[in-house]
Structure 1
């Protein structure tokens, strides 16, 4: 009887862990052809970090709205607000502090829900004006685009 008392809570814990793992969303992000040509100028590491940020934001949103879904996304465009390390290295005349530009990101793809429904998604956000650039980080507007995209997923707009 004591063996059963040990294994029952263990079995329940394993069942809950398996259910949680089955509900974990999958986010696949690829880079569009135009952005692929820009990676060398922006820097591999910087673009990889942005892809990871997009994956994290979308995974969080999918877990809220569509548990167990898969998102297949294409990062079509990505623009920094300030020069990246690679851009400063390639163009020494750029000031990493005072050089400011319109940034943002464009995303398209599909969300496949756990029941097999395919939902096309398309979103882009770029600062409309240089005066509207808000924040001091290199990727603030791209981060804002990812956050807004995640919010739309959570709200069920896709």
Structure 2
């Protein structure tokens, strides 16, 4: 009887873990051709970090709204609010603190739900003008774009 008392909770925990793993969403992100040409200027490491941020945000949103879904996204455009390390290295006159620009991101693609429905994604957010740039991070508006995309996915707009 003691063996059964040990194995029953273990079996239940393994079943729950298997169900959770089967429901984990998949997020695939590729870089659009225009952004591909700009990677050298922005810095490959920083662009890859932004791709990881996008994957994390969309993955979390899909987990809440569409468990088991797959998102196939294209990062069409990506603009920093402040110069990246690579931009500062290539253009020494840029000030990492006082140089500010309109930032944001544009994403296209589709979400394929677990039942096979395809939902198109076409989202972009850029600061409307330079006075609206209030963040201190290099990728503040891009992070805001990813967060807003995640919010809209959770609300079922995509």
- Report the equivalent of 2:149: 149
Listed as ranges, the gaps of 5+ residues in structure 2 are none
| Partner in structure 1 of residue 126 of structure 2 | 126
Deviation at 1:61, TM superposition (A): 0.5
C-alpha distance in structure 2 between counterparts of 1:134 and 1:98, whole Å: 12
Q: Distance in 2 between matches of 1:152 and 1:10?
A: 38
Provide the residue aligned with 1:95 in structure 2.
Answer: 95
Per the TM alignment, residue 139 of structure 1 is displaced from its structure 2 partner at its CA by 0.3
Per the alignment, in what secondary structure is the counterpart of residue 24 of structure 1?
A: coil
Q: CA deviation at 1:107?
A: 0.0
Residue matched to 1:67 = 67
SS class of match (2:10): helix
Residue 22 of structure 1 corresponds to 22
TM-score (norm 1): 0.98
> Which segments of 5 or more consecutive residues in structure 1 lack a partner in the other structure?
none
Give TM-score scaled by structure 2 length. Answer: 0.98
Q: Deviation of residue 37 (structure 1)?
A: 0.6
Counting matched residue pairs gives: 158
Query: What residue number does 2:37 align with?
Result: 37
Give RMSD over aligned pairs.
0.7
After TM superposition, which residue ranges in structure 1, 4 or more long, deviate above 3 angstroms? none
* 1:24-64 deviations in Å (ceiling 9; x for gaps): 11100000000001001000110011000000100110011
